[in-house]
Amino acid sequence: MGKSKFWFVLLLFTAQITQAQLFKKEEEKTIVKTGPYIGVQSGRFYAGEVGVERQWKQGKLKSPNTHALHFGVNYSYDFRDWNPILGYDIGYWYKGSNVGLTWGGALAMRTNFEQYRYGIVPTVGYKVWQIHLQTGVHLLYPFSRNSANYFTTNTLFLSARFVIVNDREVKRKPKKK
């Protein structure tokens, strides 16, 4: 009878530990990555891009959401008109799972060093590892070619960016009791 009591207590103890592990509430955490990016934008003209990006990703395996903010500068040169174009973008994108598309937008400003154009840039893309491919359209004011402040810049574009992550931290939320 001594052996059977031992096995019963051992089985009960093991079952309790297993149940505690299986039904343990998962700790919420967020992975924050920050770093510079380099890229190229192709449209009517090619433009080189540099900037910085900060990403917030849920620390879970099944359908983690990712949010990101970015600020960048781009420069293109129109060899036909000998016209340099400098641009600034500040934007946001969202990715709803590990394999989904990214959806986002940006506020943009472009200048040829004489006139300025401002507008919005809706984008859709795909991100794998730290490479982000995006396509979008620059909707810049003034829209009319007859305007005195109008100059030619990329409208429809495709861009490829590579983020060099140099700061990565895991933020944990305290458990609720």
Q: Considering the chain, what percentage of its residues have pLDDT values greater than 90?
A: 55
Read off the tokens for 43.
Answer: 């449209």
For a pLDDT cut of 70, what percent of the chain falls above it? Answer: 84
φ/ψ of residue 15, rounded to 5: -65, -40
pLDDT at 105: 97
pLDDT of residue 19: 61
Confidence of residue 13 (pLDDT cuts 50, 70, 90): low
Q: Are 36 and 173 in contact (CB under 8 A)?
A: no
Print burial letters for 72-111: b (CB count within 10 Å at least 16), e (below 16).
bebebeeeeeebebebbbebebebeeeeeebebbbebebb
Considering only CA atoms, which of 29, 33, 59 is closest in space to residue 174? 29
Q: Left if phi > 0, otherwise alpha if psi is -120 to 50, otherwise beta: which for 88?
A: beta
Cα–Cα distance for residue pair 140/43, rounded to 1 Å: 15
The 10s digit of each residue's pLDDT in 19-28 is: 655 555 556 7
Burial 148-169 (b: 16+ CB within 10 A, else e): eeebebbeebebebebeeeeee
pLDDT digits (tens, 9 = 90+) for 95-154: 998 888 999 999 999 998 999 999 999 999 999 989 999 999 999 998 878 887 788 888
Per-residue model confidence (pLDDT) at position 177:
57
The CATH architecture assigned to 29-172 reads Beta Barrel (2.40)
> Between these two residues, 14 and 112, which has the higher pLDDT value?
112
